[in-house]
Homo-oligomer: A and B are copies of this chain.
Amino acid sequence: MAGNSFGEIFRITTFGESHGKAIGVVIDGCPSGLKLDLDLIQHELDRRRPGQSAITTQRKESDTFEILSGVFEGKTLGSPIAITIKNEDPKPDDYAHLKEAYRPSHADFTYEMKYGTRDYRGGGRASARETAARVIAGAIAKQFIQQAGIEITAFVSSVGTIKLEKSYLDVDLAKAEGNIVRCPDAEIADKMIALIQDTRTKGDTVGGVVTCVIKGCPIGLGEPVFDKLHAELGKAMLSINAVHGFEYGSGFEGTQNYGSKNNDAFYTTAENKIETKTNFSGGIQGGISNGMNIYFNVAFKPVATIMQTQSSVDKEGHELELKGKGRHDPCVVPRAVPIVEAMAALVIADHLLRHRTTQL
């Protein structure tokens, strides 16, 4: 109800302000008997971590997670899994100038209006630091769905105006992690990196698109009519900070198509499986996975923290100037890749379990 939980059966609740004592997550409904690989959890956190490369913010964040419950002798118990990450000691002075000011396109103003209060230190609850909790939970969801043969891979398909024009089918997805911008095409990756570095120099930020592919998803996931699989994926993605758009399968471009082109004809494979010749449906028909690859795009706006002077107002509405200071992330899109994967894994894990209750 208050918005900090996600999922119906595989259900997470995240908590924590950016500069409070800790952030964390409780996962309720993770099946018992799952052997957890803790290194994989840390690996996913490292992919999200600030300061991981030359094109991210150089800010340091503690990211040592601690499992408080729900795991015994290396396996899940079926009880809630609570995991925390301690925050560094906040230095209140660093944020004193934000106590009264509303930063443009941040959540300062809306939080203050909604709650009548806010933790102004580092964005408080609205900080993207909250996504670390999602990545932890997603890393556990990934381990659960891998047992069902499902693999999720996301990559950066555009940064600003630099766009990977190829389909995900025409690149080697395994190469996405081979460069710091996480684009599977080395040439395009270099251009993206150059653009981000240039953007940093200007004290500015730039947006981009993350593409995500889910392979091996069994037929039947998704609950019509409201919890269609793509509607759940869409909500998951749109809940990530800075996301302004979601499309799957033929997406916005497909609105220009005729049905005669856009329809996916069924045929029977040599292995006697029913598949479709094309996949404009993006692996989902009528809200239910059809066994083909699921793929979708997620649009990230340029993040709001820039190193330039901006005009704004304070609580009383007095105009003021805000100066950029400290470190910033010129483009969060590469660091968003593991977050997109995590949210996708949470949706799929939840629907794998929901689907168990469908038939007699």
Q: Which of B26, B246, B289 is the one whose CB lies under 8 Å from A110?
A: B289
28 residue pairs from A and B, CB less than 8 Å apart: A2-B28, A4-B79, A4-B226, A9-B357, A13-B26, A15-B70, A16-B69, A17-B70, A24-B68, A26-B26, A31-B359, A34-B360, A78-B358, A105-B285, A107-B224, A111-B288, A114-B222, A114-B288, A115-B358, A160-B257, A205-B260, A208-B255, A227-B239, A245-B252, A255-B300, A259-B303, A262-B301, A266-B311
Q: Which one, A40-48, A170-178, A183-191, A312-320, is touching chain B? A: A312-320
Among the interface residues A5, A84, A301, which one has the most CB atoms of the partner chain B within 10 A?
Answer: A301
A326 at the interface (CB under 8 A from B): no
CA distance in complex: A65, B24 (Å): 16
| Residues of B close to A119: CB separation below 8 A | 72, 77, 79
A286 at the interface (CB under 8 A from B): yes
Question: Is A28 in contact with B13, judged by CB distance below 8 angstroms?
Answer: yes
| Residues of B close to A249: CB separation below 8 A | 244, 301
Oligomeric state, in copies: 4
A94 to chain B, nearest CB (A): 16
A263 at the interface (CB under 8 A from B): yes
Among all A-B residue pairs, the 8 with the closest Cβ atoms: A107-B286, A3-B223, A245-B247, A205-B259, A110-B288, A207-B255, A235-B235, A3-B227
Question: Is A356 in contact with B357, judged by CB distance below 8 angstroms?
Answer: yes
Question: Is A2 in contact with B29, judged by CB distance below 8 angstroms?
Answer: yes
Question: Is A109 in contact with B266, judged by CB distance below 8 angstroms?
Answer: yes
Among the interface residues A8, A115, A276, A284, which one has the most CB atoms of the partner chain B within 10 A?
Answer: A115
| Residues of B close to A107: CB separation below 8 A | 224, 285-288
| Residues of B close to A167: CB separation below 8 A | none
Given known pairs A31-B357, A206-B257, A259-B205, the reply for A223 and B285 (CB within 8 Å) is no
CA distance in complex: A300, B225 (Å): 16
Q: What bracket does the count of chain A residues touching chain B fall in?
A: 35 or more
CA distance in complex: A265, B312 (Å): 6
| Residues of B close to A272: CB separation below 8 A | 317
| Residues of B close to A208: CB separation below 8 A | 255
A299 at the interface (CB under 8 A from B): yes
Question: Is A267 in contact with B313, judged by CB distance below 8 angstroms?
Answer: yes
A284 to chain B, nearest CB (A): 8
| Residues of B close to A225: CB separation below 8 A | 3-4, 14, 125, 130, 239
A274 at the interface (CB under 8 A from B): yes
